[in-house]
């Protein structure tokens, strides 16, 4: 093989390697943009304010909002949960009592009010369970139900972690929130 052919072959190999790296970065950038579009940070001023106030990481609040309502403040579930963080009216009334407030249920459509009480509720549940996956289960199924599961060896070997979630809807909810939280953490909160 001549020197000229060897040089040309080397240049082609370098160009192919460079193009491969560039395409890899381009694909990673495109996927990152898609993830960011699918995982917005809407209502950031309220999420930031109430995350700090109640000690709940922002990425968790965003994950719950994304999972519960897809950032649609007018959402009402078939069970009657309202707003961004899908708070049940009875839970809202109880939370307003805990915080010494008196709001009407219709205020749950207001993003700030919904985020305030949803974040406070996450904080309250974390104070009881100290495990985010258990908090998500309680947020969905209710704390009395989750406490019963934790006391039952069928669902929890140690009384702290849920080994099995018997409600398929709650199991799916916990999984979706965990995936969303991981994505928010990766996209916006990792250095």
- Give the residue numbers annotated as catalytic, written as ranges: 68
Q: What are phi and psi of 163, to 5 degrees?
A: -85, -30
User: Rounded CA gap, 68 and 3, in Å?
Assistant: 65
């Amino acid at each position: 093989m001549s020197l000229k052919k060897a040089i040309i072959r080397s240049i082609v190999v370098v160009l192919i390697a460079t193009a491969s790296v560039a395409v890899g970065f381009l694909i990673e950038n495109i996927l990152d943009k898609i993830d960011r579009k699918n995982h917005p940070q809407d209502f950031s001023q309220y999420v930031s304010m109430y995350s700090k106030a109640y000690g709940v990481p922002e990425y968790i609040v965003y994950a719950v909002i994304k999972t519960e309502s897809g950032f649609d403040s007018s959402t009402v579930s078939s069970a009657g949960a309202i707003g961004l963080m899908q708070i049940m009216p009875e839970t809202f009334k109880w939370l307003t009592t805990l915080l010494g407030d008196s709001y009407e249920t219709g205020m749950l459509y207001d993003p700030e009010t919904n985020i305030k009480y949803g974040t406070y509720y996450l904080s309250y549940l974390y104070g009881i369970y100290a495990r985010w996956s258990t908090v998500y289960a309680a947020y969905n199924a209710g704390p009395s139900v989750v406490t019963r599961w934790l006391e039952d060896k069928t669902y929890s070997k140690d009384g702290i972690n849920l080994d099995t979630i018997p409600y398929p809807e709650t199991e799916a909810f916990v999984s979706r929130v965990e995936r969303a939280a991981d994505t928010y953490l990766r996209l916006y909160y990792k250095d």
